[in-house]
Amino acid sequence: MEGFPVKVSVQVRFRDLDALGHVNNAVYLTYFEVARAAYFRRLEEDWVARGHFILARAEVDFLRPIHLEDPVEVGVRVVRIGRSSFDMEYRVEARGEEAARGRTVQVWLEGGRPAPLPQAIRARIAEVEGRPLSEVPLEGGSGGP
């Protein structure tokens, strides 16, 4: 899965399936969460345990069904960094074929309010991504998250 610095294998569970025998649409967000948690562990910072990120938005494009016996891999990368938020992009593959893609927006909070993303976190994201943040599209100066 080229271009995704963090990848995780996911075991499809029987409870993930809907009445049609394929993975239910809501479960894809859980698969994204598993990949996002692996990404955050790669950042290796104490702030992860303090829970300063919230998930502000999630979107999923479903491309093909996933079934119980399908081997599944989820890749995640940062594709946008703003003042207080960043976007992560996901690719879900089943049996080596793209089954879904998605995007989430994470917002950094301090005192329960959006705050500028600390420089230390920006630096670690650049390390995990393996490229300078200048190569990650930056949000315009809107002042929002």
Domain for residue 143, yes or no? no
User: Is 144 inside a domain boundary?
Assistant: no
- Note down the domain range covering 78: 6-129
The count of structural domains within the chain is: 1
CATH value at residue 109: 3.10.129.10
Is the residue at 88 inside a domain? yes
> Which pLDDT score is estimated for 133?
76
Please indicate, yes or no, if residue 141 is contained in any of the structural domains.
no
On whether residue 95 sits in a domain, the answer given is yes
Predicted TM-score of the model (pTM): 0.88
CA nearest to 35, candidates 71, 86, 89: 89
Give the pLDDT confidence of 63-82 residue by residue, as tens digits.
999 999 999 999 999 999 99
Cβ contact 120:45 at 8 Å: yes
In a domain, 139, yes or no: no
Instruction: For residue 145, name the pLDDT band (cuts at 50, 70, 90).
Output: very low
